[in-house]
Amino acid sequence: MSIRSDAYATCKSVWTSPSRDSLRSVIKKLQASESGYLAQGQHVQILGFLVVDQRKTSIEQEMQFLHIMPLEGEDRNLLSAAHRDILQLNTRCVAPLVTQLPQCAKAIDPYSRFKYELPKTPDGGVLSEEVLAKMAISFHEHPAIGVAIQSAEPSASRMTEDKYVGAVSVFYDSLIKAGAYDAPDDVKSIMLGQGKDSLPRIIVRHVAALTCIKASLCVLDQLIYQAILGNKLPLLDRNNIFEVGQLSNNLVCNGLSLSYQPSEQLLRVNVHDVVLVKMEIPGLPPVQLWHVESIHSEFSQEFGSFSRVALREVDENLNPFGHLLGGM
């Protein structure tokens, strides 16, 4: 078993949750609204809807052409209970690390940049206690947790919570800015130019491990969110892919670009979605999990409407930056 396979099992449990249908209806309704558009742009799943609702007045003052309907009480309770489950799962997943390094907790929290206090709600989330416990135990085996703890002694002694937040944020942003097909120049310089026992290499190894943990939590949370909305992951295969573009095996990850045409089976994919790619591509398994980094929609006389997507491979630990751990 792997973290990825246990995540699939967690998603299957969401399908049988008593609150799933009601929660999905609320999200679908919100997605079709102006507030839903703003919420989805935050890329934090359910929390986006709650944050937009909380900031309704200030958003309308800044964007006077908008009128945001406030959440109904029952809808807010459903969203809050589900997001509370996600927060509880994330906390349990990283418990062994946070016990050792409590000052890094905020840095690896996918939602720490949002100041939002969940209202007290009755029970009614989407994850049972049994599912929470099993998924957390599985995540404890994430190799980045061991790397982060082992590399902490020389690098963490002078790092406060704020320094951790800043270091992980800057490192993560540099990986995203470099794109799915390359590694940042400073990362390449350290990995290729410094000895493994050098202090710069150890510090970067530590920050990279924390970044991998945060990224894996983001993928896990996104999978659960998509399981609330549907019973299948978006599938890119020979029925909709008409061009395989760039394939990169770099120091951070495997990156891939594909062009696909929307169809009845696959209307569209969104940035930050997790998708399955089923295609014979040399050097890759025939079916693999990928994270959508960017989308560029186009129109041509030959193909009509189509989208070009940039993807990062998601490994068995749900890590879209999986090569970093081996290289560090």
Whether the Cβ atoms of residue 20 and residue 126 lie closer than 8 Å to each other: yes
Question: Are both 21 and 142 inside the same structural domain?
Answer: yes
Question: Are both 10 and 108 inside the same structural domain?
Answer: yes
10 Å Cβ neighbour count for 60?
13
Q: pTM for the complete prediction? A: 0.93
Whether the Cβ atoms of residue 277 and residue 290 lie closer than 8 Å to each other: yes
Residuewise pLDDT in 10s, the chain (328 residues)? 799 999 999 999 999 999 999 999 999 998 888 777 888 888 889 999 998 888 887 877 777 777 788 888 899 999 999 999 999 999 999 999 999 999 999 999 999 988 777 777 666 689 999 999 999 999 999 999 999 999 987 655 578 999 999 999 999 999 999 999 999 998 888 877 777 778 888 889 999 999 999 999 999 999 999 999 999 999 999 888 888 999 999 999 999 999 998 877 776 789 999 999 998 887 778 889 999 999 998 776 666 778 899 999 999 999 999 999 876 6
Please give the pLDDT value at position 196. 75
Residue with tokens 């944050």: 51
pLDDT tens by residue, 130-154:
999 999 999 999 999 999 999 987 6
pLDDT tens by residue, 257-292:
999 988 777 767 899 999 999 988 877 788 899 999
Whether the Cβ atoms of residue 221 and residue 324 lie closer than 8 Å to each other: no
Count structural domains, the chain: 2
Residue spans of alpha helices (H) in 16-55: 20-31, 34-40, 46-54
Question: Are both 17 and 74 inside the same structural domain?
Answer: yes
* Six token digits for residue 36: 């839903």
DSSP string, 55-72: THHHHHHHSTT--PPPPP
Question: Are both 177 and 198 inside the same structural domain?
Answer: yes
Q: Are strands 287-300 and 274-278 parallel, antiparallel or unpaired?
A: antiparallel
- Cα distance between residue 210 and residue 165, in whole Å: 10
Range of the domain at 46: 3-231+320-327
Instruction: Give which of 179, 182, 155, 178 is closest to 167, Cα–Cα.
Output: 155
Question: Are both 212 and 239 inside the same structural domain?
Answer: no
Helix (H, G, I), strand (E, B) or coil at 160: coil
Question: Are both 165 and 148 inside the same structural domain?
Answer: yes
Instruction: Convert 100-113 to b/e letters by CB count within 10 Å (16 or more is b).
Output: ebeebbbbbbbbee
For the chain, what is the total number of helices (H) and then of strands (E)?
Answer: 14, 6
Question: Are both 170 and 239 inside the same structural domain?
Answer: no
Residue with tokens 């693999």: 288
Question: Are both 139 and 91 inside the same structural domain?
Answer: yes
Please give the pLDDT value at position 156. 56
In the chain the first and final C-alpha atoms are separated, in Å, by: 25
- Cα distance between residue 170 and residue 224, in whole Å: 27
Question: Are both 298 and 163 inside the same structural domain?
Answer: no
Question: Are both 124 and 194 inside the same structural domain?
Answer: yes
Torsion of CA 60, 61, 62, 63, to 10 degrees: 40
Single-letter code of the amino acid located at 275: V
267 Cβ contact partners less than 8 Å away, ≥ 6 residues apart: none
Question: Are both 58 and 183 inside the same structural domain?
Answer: yes
Question: Are both 163 and 262 inside the same structural domain?
Answer: no
Torsion of CA 108, 109, 112, 114, to 10 degrees: 140
- Cα distance between residue 209 and residue 104, in whole Å: 11
